Chain A
Amino acid sequence: MIHSKKKRNMNLIIGGTILLFFLTIMVISFFYTPYDVNKIQVANKLQPPSSAHWLGTDKFGRDTLSRIMTGTQTAFFVGAVVVVIGLFFGSIIGGLAGYLGGWFDEIVMRFIDALMAFPGIILAIMIVAVFGTGITDTALALGVLATPSIARIVRSGFMQNKDLDYVVAARSIGVSPLRIIFKVIMPNIYSQLIVAGSVAFAGALLAESSLSYLGLGVQPPDPSLGRMLSESQEYITDDPWYALAPGLTITFIVLGFYMLSNGLRELTDRRS
């Protein structure tokens, strides 16, 4: 026990550091980018990394570093919206299903199973096909997508807790079911919710970049790392750094969230 406490939670440290780094970049990008993000300088196009352009320039001569910096805004925005939607609806649906049980639970779970049977990207494509593309629609579509898996986690948390003494006690003194769900049980599964939230964040980033890569996600002029990658594709063999910069950025942010979620899980496991 003592040994495990001494062992450093590397996932939490590394994941947290990666995310802090990109969050800082995102915050800075609101006030400062090395160049104007949309300034086209055809004479400067497809420059390799240099002291003037740290990450080179794209096919229109725009500064890649500046575009990646603003691209992180979109990534974090979409991720945050998805997590908020997923946690909000996931907690309500999963909480009610887990606490009430019975036919309500059965119907909700069948519905969730059906939703989860769609490969995520297909459901997202379907929603985008109807709603249309763009940053808000993409975020909403992916939020809907994140809800079922979070609802499942919340539900299983509720099933574990609902017959424990503290819940029985609350029920016996006449606390209303809604209050039990949201005020009594919910605080006890916060740690699971935080882990689920950071996994959902990572999933949202991957999905957003895929959709934008396919041309069905974030649309110009909103910057998107996924779209930067699709723009870079025709130059992939001659100018690989053009694709590497945004690709590695997405990978590292997602990695950060995965490591963070693993670290948080370790943390709660150790506590219990």
Chain B
Amino acid sequence: MAYILRRLVFLCLTLVFISIITFLVFRILPGDPVQIMLGPDADPARITAVRHQLGLDQPLFEQYIHLIQGFVKGDLGESLRFSMPVKTLILARLPLTFSLALMSLVIVVFVSIPLGVLAAIRKNSWGDIILSSITQVGMAIPTFFVGMLLMILFGSMFRLFSPGGYIPWGESFFGALGSLLLPALTIAIPQIAVCFRYVRNEILEQTTMDYVRTARGKGATERATLFKHILRNSLIPVLTVFGLILAEVIAGTIVVEQVFSLPGIGTLLITSVSGRDFPVVQGLVLYIAFVVVCINFIVDLLYRVLDPRIRLK
């Protein structure tokens, strides 16, 4: 319990830091955001009006409190470009990005763990060497290039999927699945590479442990040793990597939505940055960071639930 409390305090501290960083980046750094937003020839009266609308004419501390209050209430102000609440804009695009991230994560789990186990069992076999080499390339390849390669391979050759374009879930389940499959795969591939290597190394490390020798000494079959002993112990540390992978998956959606022209959170972020729509950018950055930090917190807690040894320490 004390541990959870301490972690909660850390979580709150991290969130405060994040909000301060976001807040400062948009206010204290050189250059007037409103001036940048409206262009160099903007009418001074208009600048004053927008400054007032954004609350930038208030003292810094009050602005910060205002931001936090808004964040907690889910009110992030109004978009300058769409003249709509930022919240409405985000909520409209959330289902797409959420399902994209979820699908990628499912693919990562179901591909990387079995492959990692297989490679570890057959260490230094040709299969292992080939898989390890491929994953090294997989880590080096830019996500958006993966997407383009998949488009070259599938988009034109088979025309099975619909690269570029999104069919909402409500309209057609299989249509949505089809339109998100290639983007999800694109996000997943570099993460599969990371996760595969981690699983493989973790299993190889566990194999050298005393308890494995004991299990074998007792006469447990290789299969039982692997599934009942090694795998259970090696997948726990893998969980920590999943926190990181989730952050990468969320970041991946931002880029990959551009590749496949999907109207999600990422596209909103990029168009808002290009359109100098600061309330939207600030709101999105805050929420994304918030989600990532909370996920890492949950992963941390899960880690303890799954591994009693940590609780005892």
Contacts and interface: CB of A to CB of B under 8 A. Distances in A.
Interface of A: 110-111, 113-115, 117-122, 125-132, 202, 206, 209-210, 213-216, 226, 229-230, 232-233, 236-238, 240, 243-244, 247, 250-252, 254-255, 258-259
Contacts of A215: 270, 274
A127 B14 CA distance: 19
B156 interface: yes
B289 interface: yes
Interface string B210-221: 000000000000
Given A125-B281, A258-B139, 11 more contacts: A113-B17, A118-B288, A119-B254, A121-B251, A122-B285, A122-B288, A129-B273, A206-B142, A210-B144, A251-B140, A255-B140
Contacts of A247: 141-142, 145, 148-149
Interface stretch (B21-29, B58-66, B83-91, B109-117): B21-29
Contacts of A238: 156
Nearest to A207: B142
Contact of B292 (A111, A118, A127): A118
A122 B254 contact: yes
20 contacts: A117-B18, A118-B288, A119-B248, A121-B251, A121-B255, A122-B254, A122-B289, A126-B281, A127-B25, A132-B36, A236-B151, A236-B155, A237-B151, A237-B156, A240-B152, A243-B148, A247-B142, A247-B149, A250-B145, A254-B141
Given A114-B18, A122-B289, A250 B142 contact: yes
Contact of A125 (B140, B155, B269, B276): B269
A132 B17 CA distance: 24
Contacts of A240: 152
Interface string B227-265: 000000000000000000001101100110011000000
Decide if the interface of chain B is mainly helix, strand, loop or mixed.
Answer: helix
B143 interface: yes
Contact of B289 (A117, A206, A229, A232): A117
A215 B255 CA distance: 11
B137 interface: yes
Nearest to A241: B152
A35 B255 CA distance: 32
B55 interface: no
A121 B254 contact: yes
B246 to A, nearest CB: 9
Given A129-B281, A214-B258, A226-B142, A120 B251 contact: yes
A47 B234 CA distance: 52
A130 B31 contact: yes
Given A119-B251, A247-B149, A125 B273 contact: yes
Contact of A119 (B29, B145, B292): B292
B140 A118 contact: no
Main secondary structure of the interface of A (DSSP, over half): helix
Interface residues of B, number: 49
A126 B285 contact: yes
B13 interface: yes
B99 interface: no
Contacts of A121: 251, 254-255
A128 B14 CA distance: 23
Given A118-B289, A254-B140, A255-B137, A130 B26 contact: yes
Nearest to B246: A119
A229 to B, nearest CB: 6
A96 B17 CA distance: 20
B98 interface: no
Contacts of B14: 110, 113-114, 117
A110, A125, A126, A259: residue with the most chain B Cβ atoms closer than 10 Å: A126
A118 B254 contact: no
A126 B22 contact: yes
A147 to B, nearest CB: 13
Given A118-B292, A130-B33, A251 B273 contact: no
A117 B255 contact: no
Interface string B143-179: 1110011011001100000000000000000000000
Nearest to B276: A129
Would you list the 7 A-B pairs with minimal beta carbon distance, nearest first? Answer: A114-B17, A119-B251, A255-B140, A254-B140, A237-B156, A247-B145, A129-B273
A213 B296 CA distance: 29
A130 B23 CA distance: 12
